[in-house]
Structure 1
Amino acid sequence: MHGTDPRYLRYVALGDSQTEGLGDGDDIVGLRGWADRLAEHLAQHSPDLQYANLAVRGRLAGQVHAEQLAPALALRPDLATVVAGVNDLLRPRFDADEVAGHLEAMFAALTAQGARVATVTFPDVARITPLARPLTSRVTALNDRIRHAARRHGVTVAETGHHPVVTDARLWTLDRLHAGPLGHQRIAAAIAHALALPDSDDSWTHPLPPETSSPGGWRAVPGELRWVAAFLGPWLGRRLRGRSSGDGRTAKRPRLLPVQALADTGPRGSTGPDD
């Protein structure tokens, strides 16, 4: 257990759908997500904490940089999280150096202003979705660059990509692109642990109880085909039409507000699955 929290007063989250909270709640009742959960953890020890979440689903790392960095700096956070790049990984054209360059620019600007910054590495998506095996090398390349950029700017990294539990299907929604409530809980706990917050430990790395049964080998093929029809096909269709689930959407929590106001956060804009 850790106990070195400097009692943050202003926490700002930058990112895409995972930081917005997709998979943890919905657009009708409202989204929670790991950033909300981390803010709640922080507020247990810093009752005066104010929290803003600038993340918007579907955003590429360059869009997060262009659209969210300046508003984040204007809020003068003493803690910021920057998590982006998964939407880039899924694009036909992917440049790990370009994506990491956008992340590093945000790391540099936020730390130069005095903020403590945290980020994550990403799990191998092929261990969640076997059809995504060609993306493994992309994930490895991006994670390596995130680590190097973080070291250059003193950014805290939660190494979620290192632990097998992170790819347990029970932590993910049916689309296998977004964490479910348990997954968001684990991400929040991972970042809290990396930041050495009070009441944090490595329990987020522990495996879930064994499943009674799960299909394997050829018996898993029908499930893979259903996933392609229900999720991958529509995602590719949006890409071909030049559309994103984030079109027309804005940040759910653009201003710093007390954490007890989280329940007042409501849905905005259109609905639909993320990229």
Structure 2
Amino acid sequence: MGKRLNRTRPTERHRVDRSYVDHSGAELDIVHQTRWVALAILLSVCATACVAVLFIVDIPVTWHVWAAYLLVIPAVGLLLLSMLFVAKGQGRMTRLPFWMGFGFIVGGIAFDVWATLLQSPDLALEGNMVISALLYTDHDPDFIYVYGLGLQSILCCIMILLWAGFLRHRHAWFADVMNDAPLTYAEFLKATTGGGKLSWRQYIVPGGMSDFLCGYHVLLWTLPPMLVYAAAFRWYAGLDWFEIVPGPYSILGVRMMIGMAAVIFTVFFVWLYREFNTRTTNAHETVQ
């Protein structure tokens, strides 16, 4: 017979400590109550993207016009859902991050619109495919101005509301993440996207409906980098009108866009790592 293995009972020191789970009932209730709102927002974004794809497809220009009209429907729906998303949040919205985001978003959109109207008052040089479709079909310039400014205003409000919603929901989001007791940063990242209760196999290759990620977590995870990138792109587009930066659709411009996205996501992952360390440390100190 082989040598008998020593299977002594692990000591308390070697046991995995999962006692720091955050059972904040109120915050977890917020996650449960807001899931359908978050899912509806994600579906509205997908619907808007599907309509926008029509502008890059080789179809009759009249279809582009109808797509421009239809674009208003998911945009207004997304605006209403964003309002509801903010209202569902119960967390304290810190003023400094909110106003910084507000200024960055509004400033980027306003700068891009101002540069467009300054450099091309008749919108003949406007690269926006929606506006181009309306111009090509001889729509009244006043209508195009009202349509364009109205859609930009809706977009601006949506982005501000989603940023405010993120700030109000972030504590509930992290409370639910810590409720899954992640032991490593990788597990923490998996939990932030709603996969905390899934194995890595289920997370990478879902085997059923129960393996899909939670829409609430997916929305909260995507909001910071996407909003920052969208606002930064508007600043970039405004600078492009003055030929300060390469065109966003040139080879160099695409490289700069990719580089900007890489920087934004790097900062985002660093911020998540800081949150993981801070919340894990605080939870252990609370237990002790």
Taking structure 1 as the reference length, the TM-score comes to 0.26
- As a proportion of its length, which structure holds more strand? 1
